[in-house]
Every structure is written in structure tokens, then in C-alpha cells.
Amino acid sequence: MPTNFTVVPVEARADGGPDEAAEGAEAAGGAEGTEAPGPPEGEPDCQSPGDGNPRENSPFINHTEVEQESFEGKNMALFEEEMDSNPMVSSLLNKLANYTNLSQGVVEHEEHEDDSKRREVKSPRMGTFIGVYLPCLQNILGVILFLRLTWIVGAAGVLESFLIVFMCCTCTMLTAISMSAIATNGVVPAGGSYYMISRSLGPEFGGAVGLCFYLGTTFAGAMYILGTIEIFLTYISPSAAIIQADTAEGEAAAMLHNMRVYGTCTLVLMAMVVFVGVKYVNKLALVFLACVVLSILAIYAGVIKTAFDPPDIPVCLLGNRTLSRRGFDVCAKFLAADNSTMPTALWGIFCNSSMPNATCDEYFAQNNVTEIQGIPGVASGVLLDNLWSAYADKGAFVERKSTPSVPVPEESRANGLPYVLTDIMTYFTMLVGIYFPSVTGIMAGSNRSGDLRDAQKSIPTGTILAIVTTSFIYLSCIVLFGACIEGVILRDKFGEALQGKLVIGMLAWPSPWVIVIGSFFSTCGAGLQSLTGAPRLLQAIARDGIIPFLQVFGHGKANGEPTWALLLTALICETGILIASLDNVAPILSMFFLMCYMFVNLACAVQTLLRTPNWRPRFRYYHWALSFLGMSLCLALMFICSWYYALFAMLIAGCIYKYIEYRGAEKEWGDGIRGLSLNAARYALLRVEHGPPHTKNWRPQVLVMLSLDEEQRVRHPRLLSLTTQLKAGKGLTIVGSVLEGTYLDKHVEAQRAEENIRSLMGVEKTKGFCQLVVSSSLRDGMSHLIQSAGLGGMKHNTVLMAWPESWKQEDNTFSWKNFVETVRDTTAAQQALLVAKNVDLFPQNQERFSDGDIDVWWVVHDGGLLMLLPFLLRQHKVWRKCRMRIFTVAQVDDNSIQMKKDLQMFLYHLRISAEVEVVEMVENDISAFTYEKTLMMEQRSQMLKQMQLSKTEREREAQLIHDRNTASHSVVATRTQAPSTPDKVQMTWTKEKLIAEKYKNKEPGMSGFKDLFSLKPNQSNVRRMHTAVKLNGVVLSRSRGAQLVLLNMPGPPRNRQGDENYMEFLEVLTEGLDRVLLVRGSGREVVTIYS
């Protein structure tokens, strides 16, 4: 690294003397050297489900809370108050030097749960060669190379086989490059590929792809075990079969049953070896790999030998059809002996007797029996015959096209004749699915990253070297097989024409048994590697706590071995063994592995394109275009192999994704998908027009104003229920609240209040954002929220708040003054306002109205929001079965019949279905009740302004006046007269107040109150009160039983002196109604009749 730095000792001050300097040096040394050893690296500091410690929150994985230390020296006195949260650089560097990759070992987690004494765990120290290169080599050079590669070359031809291998190797190489970039962008603990994907794409993608990769690795173990048993039962000891077939037709089924029996026993044995310990697997790996290397060397040696001394391996053909060399030795119809010809065993098979005049099979009679060399050698020119594909249907004859034959009419092929037949239908895409698992061992090293000394260095180097090595072996073997071996032998999957011998073994030198034994042990080793890596992968997923029901698999033995995960792996592996067919298991693996590789490439491409500051891989040879090409190639290969398997694998991954999103723990890993979301959000916000949207795009973007109690809990939770019902998950929702005070004093309460609000939003399923403001006054805080909530074009256009039920009490924090000023603020900001009265009576989200009406009282038109709100509410399940009724008010001069027709036509064009009714309000004289109500309102207002009473006395006097007016209401109903003199009203006076009042007003003390009770009501207020009383009566007569009443909210008076009267008008207007939503539009149109 080019950065240079120098460690500078801090000298003690000269005037401190040598003692102080020594004291300072001792203190500094103590800060560095006497630090108490912390828990093992990566251990969580608090108990949480799974391994809940967010290691990415600190620059080092083994970050733990530094114990409180005493800094007695003066060198660091300037920073001593921050030492508990910001430790010295020396202590952090000391921790980094002691870092171990085994930070996710289960033992630390269990010890922490038991609160027992922690003990140090010695971590394995594997290098690149043993830890990554050999496991990758062993997994890649596995069962497909020895059992299926010759068959793939024979069916697809050299050119198409080369294309298949080249595509698959290119896919894995591009994935390895992306994986190397991710692996070198920070420390990779245990879990390898899962850890890389989850930290790059987030817990949902990481969990889904991690589980898919786990299933793929587990099924790979099943495939390797099936390959092992196939080698054993077919080429080593066919007589060991437990279940024997009675007929030739039953041989395939009997073979599958034998595979199941032997496979299950082998799986149990391998699981026991893995359970004993990973170190034994590593020791056995060298032995197994030696077998692989010797086998490959034997293949190359055999190829070289065929150039000058081809082996004598005769193949018997009848016409151009290959014959199985079981049941006869001599490849001829007659055998000359003692000057006579005798029919051979082959004659007896195709004819009904051994006599020369016997009746024989027509094809046998028409065609000659010939014998060719199965492995003619490199110099024979057979490569030209094997260049092109020879795909065939199931049960087709394996034929040599260049040999002449006499065709005969189609006959039954299942008559027991010794032909070599194809066991499955072959085509290009199917061969891709079967071959791809042979290149899927590239993650074998990264899966065991917890056992590596330096994962960042070992994973890229070992993986890429292994891919280069194996790609060369595969590509060269395809060309060499096509150049050395006859086509009919290549297409003979199980070596029937070679007396049941392994085809690739017959090519090897010095003996076929080198390949047979080598392939047997190599597939054993690959199976052990899969059974070692898969449980660790599951353990890493379980200990992250993102999938709750998997947490039990995070536990294990005292040395960290994943016991429970190994048990589950063995059970899943058993299902693959029960399938029993290698060709059917292979495409399943291909899907899971390809999906994992696709998301590794996606993770690298996303991180590179986003240019996140933390994306600083040490591996420099990557580019987003390569990652994108690898991702596209993986997706293409998935659908090439099998489109229905691909869709099924995606469905499984999607279900896991949604489950983690729905039930998983909240994790913040700084993943690339979150960065992509932020970039997309920024791009979208910049594109959103800053002005108001078009009417067709208008929807209520709601700012919900919540009030909190003394414990920072929400006073009216039903307000959020109404928000959820109104929004139905669409549009913008900002939940705002105000705390009174200063931020420095109230930041703890603010955090607690925000947590409470977020928790309630989760309960009420309100999707939106929380914004809490600490302000010196509630009034200013609410004004700030209305002005500044939102971002760019994503700002609210509607404010939703609760009616202040106790507005008449002065001690109410949300007083009527705040309410009226908020109404004025929304009007000035050109925002709509919704006021829910009796909000605690509103339904919860779980309630359902089976019947009822939503009544809309449309008095004035201020944008059409009144029409839109019931339509939005009825989208939610709570209000879905309610009917919508619209009432409008007609004056004396209006034609109510025409108004109804016009309104029905208007609603028809708006595509809103509702009942329409026009209510006529007849002008009549102002009633005495209205007069008295206005007078009482003005008296209380005037009295509160004049009297210098305490709060409690002010309420008492107001109540006295209210009682007097209420008692006189029955008398006033028959006669209207001025209120009686206030002599009967008992006022409470203290001596101090009497003196203060005397000095304040030179007139007699009671004259002010005489003026108070001789007031005449303001005519404007009388008219307003008359409207409120009349309209309230009309609404009550029609909508008393409605589930919800929406009506226009009149604006506050321009003269601020009458604000308290405005509250009284609204109270009278909504009196007697259960659920009321007062609606004040912004003035702009929000509904349109146009499409």
C-alpha cells in the first residue's frame, strides 16, 4: 500500500520534569498494554436471536466495547472523556493484529448465551493451496469427468461439446472474478458465498440465494455419492448388487434400487466422518486428490500412447448397430473349426436354434457382423467423424453412420437382443444441464472461509487457478476423446460394448483400474467436501437470525462443528439419493448453482456501478461489464438447461425472499440493493416535477399530525388507522409530531417518542415515514412540519389531524389557538386539511362494516376532495361494504330538481357511484335558541378577556355563566328579553384582586360586569351561529345513523379576535354526530371527468 505513516511518541512537557514524563509514558503504555482481553472476536455484546451482532458497524469485526480505563497521564487528557466510545489507535491496531477468521464459531455464541467463562478457540490456519485450490479442484474434477464426459462428446460431437464446456467454464470464470472482487472488499468470515451475497445484496437476497446455494451444495453431495455407487456397482463389483433383475427390462429399475440402498449407507458413513471433524476431511482430501491427479495423468498418458501403439479393444457391429458384449465372446455368425463351420453364441441369440437353417432375426440375416477398433488412436483421423452431433431418442440404436447396413421394416426393440440402446433422449440443452454441475465446485474454498488464514488472499488466487486448471483439462479432454475414441463407444454410456468396462478407463495407461479406482475415490472426496461445506453454510445463515425457524441450526459442538446443520444436510441429501438417477439429479444442482452465481455477478455489478465509498476491493481485475455478462450468461444457462426447473428454482427463491421480508429480523448491512434503492430514489426525486402534479395524478400525500402524552405515547392511535384505510398502502405518508423544549434537553425523549410512533405504525400497518420535531413551542413546531416535511417533489399536500376535544380547557397542550393557527397555515401553504372529530370512535383496521353509509355533505366546492375521500376509503376492507351518499344544500332560489340531475351527471362522469339527495334549507327567522347561544359564546369570550382570574377561577366563572344561560333557555324560548342583571351571580373575590381591580379601573368595580351582561350579540356572529345550528339540524335528520359523515370545514375568520367563536361554530355544526371528518380543500381541482 503506498500510504506512508510515522508513529510519533508524545513527549512530556519540559516543565513537567522527568517524573511527569515517566508518569505520562506509563499511563500511555497502560492504555495500550493493560487493556483487559475482550471476548472472542465477533461475539455479540447483547443477547439476540441468532448471531445478532452487526459486525459491519465497526471497521473491525472483533470490535467490542472497550472497558473503562483510567487515563492518569496528561498526554491524552484532551480526549479522556471520549475514550469509552473512541478507543486509542494503539488498542485498535492491537485488536486487528490478533484478529482471527473464526469469528463466527458457534462456541463463542453458546458461551455467551450461558454467561459462562469465555475460553479462547484456536483457529485453523489453512493456506491457499490446501484451503481453496485443492477443494475447488477436487469438486470440479469429479463425477461428470469420469462418468459422463465421453458420453457428452459422443452425443453432442466435439464442436458442440466444446461449446458447452466453454460456455460453462466462461460462466464460472466470470463468476470467480466477481467473487474475487467481493471477497477482497473486506474480511470474509465463515459462510463464504452466503456472507458475500447477503452483505452485498441485503438479507432478503442473501437468505434466498444462500438457501438455494445450500440446497445445491447438498444435492451435489447426493450426486457425488450416486456417482461413487455407480462406479462401484457398474465397474468395480457388479456382483455386489443386492437386488437382482429377473428380466432384461428390469435391470434399470433394479440398478436404481441398488443405488438407493448403497447410497444411503455411504451417506451415513460420510456424515459420521464429517461429524468427527473437518481436519480428517482435510487429511483425506490429499489422498483423494492424489487419485484425481493420477487419473488425469493416466488419461493423458493413454492418449499419447495411442499415437504410436493403439490398444486392441474390439467392438462388435451388426450392420451399423453396436452390439453389447455380454452373452457372447466371438464377434461372428459362424466359427470355422476342423474344416467345418459352427454357429456362434451370437447366432444362438438372434436365431431360434443353433442350426444353420434356423429362422433368424431379419436384420441379423440381412446384415454382416463386423469388428472395429474401439480406440483407434489420435492418428486415426476419427476426429472428423466425431465433430458433429448424433442426438437420439430414448431406446434408439447406437449406430455407426459410416458403416453400410441393409435397413429392414421397424421391429420391436424390446425383444432381449444384445443391442446397445440409448437410455434417455439426448439434446443440446439437456446435455448442458447434465454437464454444468462438473464446473460448480468453484465455491468449495469460499464456503470454508472461516478455516482460512487469509480469506481475502486465498479465495481469489486459489479459485481462479483451479478454474484455469480444470477448464484446460476439460477442453483438452473433449478434443482428445473425440480424436482417440470411436463414436459408438463414446455414445455407449455404460460401456456395454466393452463388456461393461469404463470407457475412459480403457483409454488410460497403464491400466483401466487407475481410472476406476481414482474416479471412485475422487467422487468420495467430492462428496465429503460437499457434506463439509453445506452445514457451515446453513450455520452461517441460521446464526444471522434472518430466518427465524432456522435458528436451531446455528448451534453445534463445543469446537464449532455444525451438528444440527449436518443432520439436516444429511436428510436433504438422502432425498437426492432416493431419486437415484445421476442424470436427473444433475439439472437440479445446475439451477441452484446458476442462481447463486447469477446473484454473485449481480452483486459485483451493482456495487461497481453505484461506486459506494466502501467498495474498495484489493482484487483489481474486475469490471462491471464482465459481471453483467456473467449474470446474463447464468440466466441464459438456467433456461437453456430447463426452463421449468429454472422457474421452479426462482419460485423457491422468491418465496424465501418474501418470507425473510415478512418474518425475518431487521438487518442493516449496508448492502448494495439498499444503495441501489437510494440511487433510484434520488434519480426519481430529481425527475419528479417540483410544482403541483396534474389533476389525474393527484392523490392525498398525507402529513399526519399526532399529539403525544407525557410518556411520549400517541394519544389517538386511531388516527393512524384512518390513515392506513385512506391510503391503502399507496402514496406518501409522513407521520409527524412535536415535542416542546430544546433538542439538547429532549433528544432522548425524542428518540423514545419516534420509536413509539414507528412501533404503532407497524401495528397499524401504516407505510410511511416518521418525522419528529423538537421546538420551543408546539405552535412553531407544527408550522415547521407543515412547511418542511417531505423532500423535493415528494411533499405532502394534505394534513390530517384530530379535533382538540378539550379545547375549552386552557391547560390542554393542543389548545384551540394552536388548532386555528394550524388551519391558517395549511390554507397559506395551499394544502388540504382533514380534521377527524371523535377520532377514538373510528374503526380499527381489523373491524369490518357489514352495512352502513358514508355521507358526504357538499356545501361548497373547494377542489372535489370531498368526492375523492369516500372513494379511497371504500378501497379498504373496513369501508368496502358501505354505501356512498352525497347531500348538497339548495337555497330558496335554486332549482333542486335540476341540481339533482346535474349532480348525478357529474358523478357519472367522475365514475363514482353514489346516491344523490338535494336538501332545501328554507330561510326563516333566527330562533331564540340561536340568539341565546351566540350571546352565551360572546359573553364567555368577553368575560375571559376582562377578568384577571386564576385558571381555576376562570373556569368556574365561565361555568356559572354557562349554567345560568342554560337554565334560562326554556324561558327564553317563549319570550325574548335581555339577560337578567348579574346580581344573582356569586363572584369570588380576594382582597388583593379587589384592590388591583380598584386601581385598574376608577369606575365602580362591578360596572365592567354589568356591561358584560348587557352585551348585545354581534349580528355577524348571530348569522354564523344560525347557519351552524340549521345545518347541524339538517345533517342530524339525514345522517344520524351514518358510519361516517364528511362535510365542508369553513375557514377561520380573517379577524383573529374571533378565533374562539370559530371553534364554537364548528362544535355546534358537528354536535350529535359520532364520526365526523371535516374536510377543507386546498382550492385546486383534485378530480377530473377526463381520462
DSSP 405: -
Q: For residue 1067, give the H/E element and its range.
A: helix 1059-1069
Mean pLDDT in residue range 518-536: 85
Which residue has better confidence, 832 or 630? 630
Nearest to 733 by CA among 708, 706, 752: 706
Which residue has better confidence, 328 or 482? 482
Which residue has better confidence, 923 or 917? 917
CB 1017 within 8 A of CB 938: yes
User: Which residues on neighbouring strands pair with residue 371, listed in sequence order?
Assistant: 316
Which residue has better confidence, 157 or 38? 157
Scanning 769-836, the segments in alpha helix (DSSP H) are 778-788, 816-828
Does residue 36 have a pLDDT over 50? no
Rounded distance, CA 205 to CA 211, Å?
10
What is the per-residue pLDDT for 963? 59
Of all residues in the chain, what percent carry a pLDDT higher than 90? 13
Using only C-alpha atoms, the chain has a radius of gyration, in whole angstroms, of 43
Q: CB-based contacts of 950: which residues, under 8 Å, 6+ apart?
A: none
- Residue 569: how many CB atoms within 10 A of its CB? 29
What is the per-residue pLDDT for 53? 45
Mean pLDDT in residue range 870-886: 86
Does residue 735 have a pLDDT over 80? yes
Sheet arrangement for strand 321-322: 321-322, 314-318, 369-373
Q: Which of 411-425, 505-519, 569-583, 952-966 has the lowest mean pLDDT?
A: 952-966
Mean pLDDT in residue range 6-16: 46
Tell me: the pLDDT tens digits for 199-242? 777 787 788 878 888 888 899 899 989 999 989 988 888 888 88
Nearest to 916 by CA among 889, 878, 880: 889
695: confidence class by pLDDT, cuts 50, 70, 90: low
Going by their DSSP bridges, the two strands 883-890 and 1076-1080 should be labelled as unpaired
Does residue 970 have a pLDDT over 50? no
CB 503 within 8 A of CB 482: no
Which string of b and e fits 839-857 if b means at least 16 CB within 10 Å?
A: beebbebeeebeeebbbbb
Does residue 824 have a pLDDT over 80? yes
Tell me: the pLDDT tens digits for 976-1035? 333 433 433 334 444 454 455 444 444 444 444 444 444 555 666 667 777 777 788 888
CB 1032 within 8 A of CB 1071: yes
What is the per-residue pLDDT for 408? 81
Cell numbers describing residue 638: 438456467
What is the per-residue pLDDT for 475? 94
Mean pLDDT in residue range 805-816: 65
Which residue is it, cell 327564553? 972
Tell me: the pLDDT tens digits for 564-580? 899 999 999 999 999 88
Does residue 278 have a pLDDT over 80? no
Q: What is the pTM of this model?
A: 0.68
Of all residues in the chain, what percent carry a pLDDT higher than 70? 73
Q: CB-based contacts of 1043: which residues, under 8 Å, 6+ apart?
A: 849, 852, 853, 854, 879, 882, 1075
Rounded distance, CA 751 to CA 149, Å?
64
CB 231 within 8 A of CB 485: no
Q: Which of 143-157, 453-467, 662-676, 961-975 has the lowest mean pLDDT?
A: 961-975
What is the per-residue pLDDT for 88? 63
Kindly report the average pLDDT of the chain as a whole number.
Answer: 76
CB 587 within 8 A of CB 648: no
Does residue 104 have a pLDDT over 80? no
CB 109 within 8 A of CB 554: yes
Does residue 811 have a pLDDT over 70? no
117: confidence class by pLDDT, cuts 50, 70, 90: very low
- End-to-end Cα distance, the chain: 63
Mean pLDDT in residue range 806-811: 67
Mean pLDDT in residue range 699-706: 86
Tell me: the pLDDT tens digits for 754-767? 899 998 888 888 88
Which string of b and e fits 13-26 if b means at least 16 CB within 10 Å?
A: eeeeeeeebebbbe
Which residue has better confidence, 1 or 632? 632
What is the per-residue pLDDT for 131? 80
Tell me: the pLDDT tens digits for 783-792? 999 888 888 7
Rounded distance, CA 654 to CA 648, Å?
10
Mean pLDDT in residue range 383-403: 88
Mean pLDDT in residue range 414-435: 85
Question: For 938, phi and psi rounded to 5 degrees?
Answer: -70, -35
